[in-house]
Amino acid sequence: MQRASAVFALVVLALAACGTKKAGPDGGAGGNGGAGATGNGGAGATDNGGAGGAHGTGVAGQGAAGTGVAGQGAAGSADGGGSGAAGGAGAGATGGVAGAGAPGGAGAGPSGSGGVGTAGTGGGAGGAGPVHARCVDPLRLEFVNGEATVSDDTSRATDEFPTLTCADGDGALQGGQIYYRFTARPGREYAFRVSSPAASSFSPVVFYVFPAGAPCTVDAIQTACRSDGVTGTRPTKTLSTTLTPFAPRDPGDYIVGVDRNITRGSPYTLTIFEYCGSSGGTDCKVKGCDLSLGQWCTGDTLSACNVDGTATVTTDCAMTGKVCHRGACVASVVDLIGNTWPTSPAMDASAPGATLLNFFEVTTSRTITEIVIIMVQRRAFALDWRIFEATNQSGPYQTIFSTRTMSGGGGEASSETTGPIQVPIVAGRFYAIGVALPTGANYYLQQQAEKPLPLEVSFGRLTSAAVLPSASSTSTVDYPAPGTFVIAQRVTTKL
């Protein structure tokens, strides 16, 4: 009986020993991660069974956010206890992007299984950059391959000039505005596009351009942005396919203001393109598109307009005997010269008559097929039509064509015409086109208050006009200084 009791006691002790296995010592707690040089949190160091190290706080560097790094769970205790703690989320620095939380580590004990660390949470939200809402503090933009693009939101800005308006009739721009600065280089042209899906056609996001050297005042900004591209340009509505051209008279720095005509702000994207002529370059784009049309004519070649103002050649109009005009292949082109300008009071040609001439620089070879002038004459008389040619603008201009017709009479307006003619004009040469009137004939001038010349025409440019005090059949004329008038003409040309 005593021996049986002893055996039973030994069994109990053995079972107790099996249930009370001694746990291994826990590792010490991991140290904190160091601060990241560009905002990244350092990885937490851990010991056996210890908690993952805490994340380092992101330091604001170049506006980047701190990134939280997860602690790596190390080996669990001998009985499988403990799990690696997760790395904390990095704090977002000003202007940075959100830091990403990393997953926690998994620990494994030598005789048990460590728990799985909890995944780190998302990083801190990226902070917004400074708001350049004052004219004296624009954000500098640099071109990369002929393009500069920036996105922002006018709701972040306050209104600096509540009475500013760059377009007549559109009212004051009452929203907050953000300013940008770029350098316009000599010989370069530029185009702007602003898009804002959140805005409507009734309250679009607009932009205006003015010299950086201009005073930051309403009057100075309005003077520039109403100059029709000389020192600035007007607002452009937010049509993503619309580009507004800008060929400043003077190179240098210019400021672009992005604004809105209501107080409510809107997100937007502003893009500026830089063009450097037909040959192009490595740091600019080749302008190949009429920015107000969907297609563009280069000589008689028709091209499709790309969204960045470059072009893709589609058709050679000359192959079908046609000319390219305003984005289409056509059989002939009619240029209406001075038809929208104010008309002077009637004038009388004094003795010995008068010769009315417009002077042209031809850039695309054509054939003139008709010349028309609207006249009101009291009686019928002879009209001597003239075309002169020169190899340089200053002249002398030599007669290459003349014909005589009879005018209408009776004091009624009539379209006086050469009738069908065939007079070639050559690219690179200069021409004077008009008609000689006898003494007592009436004529009119189309006048502007300021010098409007040169004027673009389909075959080149109108550079000057003259009323010569003679109706004689002189064989040469000289080039006159440009004035504030042109002769109203309708010139028809074909290939």
Question: Which of 163-172, 368-377, 443-452, 466-475 is predicted most confidently?
Answer: 368-377
Nearest residue to 433 (alpha-carbon basis) of 335, 372, 351, 358:
358
Give first-to-last CA distance, the chain, whole Å.
Answer: 133
Name the residue with tokens 């004990």: 109
Pairing of strands 139-140, 178-184: parallel
Higher-confidence position of 96 and 153: 153
pLDDT score, position 445? 87
Nearest residue to 212 (alpha-carbon basis) of 243, 257, 245:
257
Q: What is the rounded CA–CA span in Å between residue 421 and residue 386?
A: 12
Portion of the chain with pLDDT greater than 70, in percent? 66
Please check the confidence at residue 492 and state whether its pLDDT lies above 90.
Answer: yes
Please provide the average confidence, as pLDDT, over all residues in the chain: 74
Please check the confidence at residue 59 and state whether its pLDDT lies above 50.
Answer: no
Please check the confidence at residue 84 and state whether its pLDDT lies above 80.
Answer: no
Q: What angle do CA 225, 228, 230 make, to 5 degrees?
A: 85
Higher-confidence position of 200 and 108: 200
Nearest residue to 254 (alpha-carbon basis) of 213, 289, 293, 291:
213
Quick one: pLDDT band at residue 237, thresholds 50, 70, 90? Answer: very low
Higher-confidence position of 5 and 131: 131
Please check the confidence at residue 360 and state whether its pLDDT lies above 60.
Answer: yes
Question: Which of 79-83, 289-293, 399-403 is predicted most confidently?
Answer: 399-403
Calculate mean pLDDT across residues 259-269: 88
Quick one: pLDDT band at residue 380, thresholds 50, 70, 90? Answer: confident
* pLDDT, tens only, 190-226: 989 888 876 665 678 889 999 999 999 999 999 998 8
Please check the confidence at residue 117 and state whether its pLDDT lies above 50.
Answer: no
Quick one: pLDDT band at residue 127, thresholds 50, 70, 90? Answer: low
Calculate mean pLDDT across residues 250-277: 90
Q: What is the rounded CA–CA span in Å between residue 190 and residue 185?
A: 10
Other CB atoms within a 10 A radius of the CB of residue 8 amount to 10
Please check the confidence at residue 73 and state whether its pLDDT lies above 60.
Answer: no
Quick one: pLDDT band at residue 4, thresholds 50, 70, 90? Answer: very low
Other CB atoms within a 10 A radius of the CB of residue 29 amount to 17
**Residue pair 427/363 in contact by the 8 Å Cβ criterion:** yes
Q: Which amino acid is at 353?
A: G
* pLDDT, tens only, 9-39: 433 333 334 343 333 344 344 344 343 333 3
pTM for this prediction: 0.49
pLDDT score, position 16? 37
pLDDT score, position 201? 58
Higher-confidence position of 222 and 450: 222
